[in-house]
Amino acid sequence: MPLTNRFAELLPQITQWRRDIHAHPEILFDTQRTSALVAEKLRAFGCDEVVEGLGRTGVVGLIHGRATGSGRVVGLRADMDALPIREATGLEHASTVPDAMHACGHDGHTAMLLGAAQYLAETRNFDGTVAVIFQPAEEGGGGGREMVEDGMMERFGIQEVYGMHNWPGIPTGEFAIRPGPFFAATDIFEITIEGKGGHAAKPQDAIDSTVVASHVVLALQSIASRNVDPVEQVVVSVTSFETSSTAFNVLPQSVTLKGTVRSLTPQVQDLAQDRLHRIAEQTALAFGAAARIDYTRNYPVMVNETDSTRFAADVARQVAGGCAEAPLIMGGEDFAFMLEARPGAYILVGNGDTAPVHHPEYDFNDEAIPAGCSWWVQLAEQRMPLG
């Protein structure tokens, strides 16, 4: 029986897991309930080893094949955390936790990898070991980095690693992927403009930090338009403008700007960081103010290794009949840390015509489960075929 048909039979069970996780979202590293549920199921499936507490609340299950002579170990990774968003779906399985919801589909990723783990533990039709990786804190916490820094790759001998994300706008159960840079580096910054506060009716006696900050916001857009090669990709977005006073008649002493820089190469990342510092400092100086900058490199560029991408796409074609070329994505993905540590690839599976991710009306499309589970299983079996 084709795998997609087998998982179509298992769909009600896996859907129930997914909706239970959806109803009980947990943010960043606080995935205690989800992690415990994952570990319990992996043990029930008969995984050869289940380790908890990696990257604080991450879980890894090891499944040995019928043979292990190849010595190969392939990692399959799903993320578990939710977002601090108030859900607006009105569904029966909607979040029961105030101001938290699975608005990015990590509930679906976790459920699909659990379904694949159950099948792999039952059949073991491969020569080697599968490491199923359940990661916390993808949404800004760097859980992937923490699992790598905890020595996960070395401890379990993982040689290559693969990840998957659902994607609204791609037909349900279809796939898309691209080699090389795929998701952007996600730097964050905070710029504090320090002026001289005063009465709004006497601007000549003040240094208006709101005017200075406004010039900085506009000037930062020249990084993309006038500093970076037009064939390269960079996004500089100021997302918060906070004054030290909210009164109608006060010129505030200071303004704090927050935002993000997205890039796809180290060279552009370096250039954007340098220009941001220069623009903020020199613009402030021109007005007699001062700028203090806190710049953090958050997630690196996520880069798909070429051969692994080709293999992942071939498996997707066998599951879905095709695999499209994915666009460059300026969003971030902390699977980048795992791909820095080991070769591998990251693929998109279609969520259909749904609300976008990070939207209060988003919900993972359960009809994508058979395709996602089948891709995980076939990837493991074909990467480590029995002789």
Numbered residues of the known binding site for Mn(2+): 104, 106, 139, 165, 358
- The H-assigned helical ranges of the chain are 3-23, 32-45, 106-123, 143-149, 152-156, 209-220, 222, 266-286, 306-320, 335-341, 369-383
Side chain identity, residue 250: V
Phi, psi of 92 (to 5 degrees): -65, -30
Among 164, 132, 135, 94, which Cα is nearest to 350's? 164
Among 137, 144, 79, 85, which Cα is nearest to 105's? 79
What token pair was written down for 315? 């498996």
What is the number of H-type helices and E-type strands within the chain? 11, 16
Q: What's the rounded Cα separation, in Å, for the pair 212 and 360?
A: 35
Side chain identity, residue 209: S
Give strand pairing partners of 78.
Answer: 134
Q: Are 332 and 186 in contact (CB under 8 A)?
A: yes
User: CA–CA distance from 257 to each of 164, 213, 287, 310 (Å)?
Assistant: 34, 8, 17, 42
- DSSP string across 44-70: HHT-SEEEEEETTTEEEEEEE-SB-TT
Burial 229-259 (b: 16+ CB within 10 A, else e): eeeebbbbebeeeebebeeeeebbbbbbbbb
Q: Is 8 exposed, middle or buried (0-12, 13-18, 19+ CB in 10 A)?
A: middle
Separation of CA 37 from chain center:
21
Residues comprising the binding site?
Answer: 104, 106, 139, 165, 358
Q: Are 117 and 99 in contact (CB under 8 A)?
A: no
DSSP state for residue 24 in the 8-state scheme:
S
User: CA–CA distance from 41 to each of 75, 278, 325 (Å)?
Assistant: 18, 53, 35
